[in-house]
Amino acid sequence: MARLGQRTPSGWVIGHIRRVPVIFAPSWFVMAVILGIVFAPAITRLVPGAGTVATVLAAAAVPLMLLLGVLAHELAHGMAGHAVGSPPREYVLTLWGGHTQFVTDMRTPGASALVSIVGPLANAVLAVISWAANGWTDSAMASVLWQIAALSNGVVAVFNLLPGYPLDGGRVLEAVVWKVTGDRLTGLTVAGWGGRVVAAAVVLVGLGRPFLAGFRPTIFTVLWVTLLAGYLWMASSEAITSARARRSAAGLDLRQIAEPAVALPASAPVSAADMAGPRRIVLLGDDGRVSGLVDPAVLGQVPPEARPTTPLTAVASVLPPSSVLTQMVGASAVAAAAHIARTSPVIVLADGQAGVVGVLTVRTLEDALRRRR
- Residue 23's DSSP bridge partners are 13, 92
Cα–Cα distance for residue pair 61/36, rounded to 1 Å: 8
**What is the mean pLDDT of the segment spanning 18-25?**
85
Cα–Cα distance for residue pair 186/170, rounded to 1 Å: 13
pLDDT at 21: 87
**For the chain, what percentages of helix, strand and coil (3-state, to nearest 5) are there?**
60, 20, 25
pLDDT at 1: 55
**Range list of β-strands (E), the chain:** 7-8, 11-17, 20-24, 88-94, 97-102, 259-265, 280-284, 290-294, 316-318, 324-325, 346-351, 355-361
- Where along the chain do its domains lie? 7-249, 254-372
Q: SS3 for 279?
A: coil
Q: Which is more confident, 64 or 118?
A: 118
| Predicted TM-score (pTM) of this structure | 0.70
Whether 174 shows a pLDDT value over 70: the answer reads: yes
Most confident of 4-13, 52-61, 165-174: 165-174
Contacts of 141-146 with C-beta under 8 Å, sequence gap 24+, read 141/43, 141/47, 141/50, 141/54, 141/58, 144/43, 144/46, 144/47, 144/58, 145/58, 145/61, 145/62, 145/65
| Dihedral, CA of residue 6, residue 7, residue 11 and residue 15, to nearest 10 | 0
Most confident of 30-34, 110-114, 269-273, 316-320: 110-114
In CATH, 254-372 is 3.10.580.10: yes
Asked if 89 and 50 touch (Cβ cutoff 8 Å), the reply is no
Say which range, 68-72, 153-157, 191-195, 221-225, has the weakest mean pLDDT: 221-225
> Would strands 316-318 and 324-325 be described as parallel, antiparallel, or unpaired?
unpaired
- Give first-to-last CA distance, the chain, whole Å: 39
Phi, psi for 7 (deg, rounded to 5): -90, 125
Cα–Cα distance for residue pair 118/302, rounded to 1 Å: 63
From residue 157, give the alpha-carbon distance in Å to each of 72, 73, 169, 270.
Answer: 12, 9, 10, 64
**What is the mean pLDDT of the segment spanning 122-139?**
89
pLDDT at 168: 94
Asked if 44 and 50 touch (Cβ cutoff 8 Å), the reply is yes
Percent of all residues in the chain with a pLDDT value above 70, rounded to a whole number: 95
Percent of all residues in the chain with a pLDDT value above 90, rounded to a whole number: 33
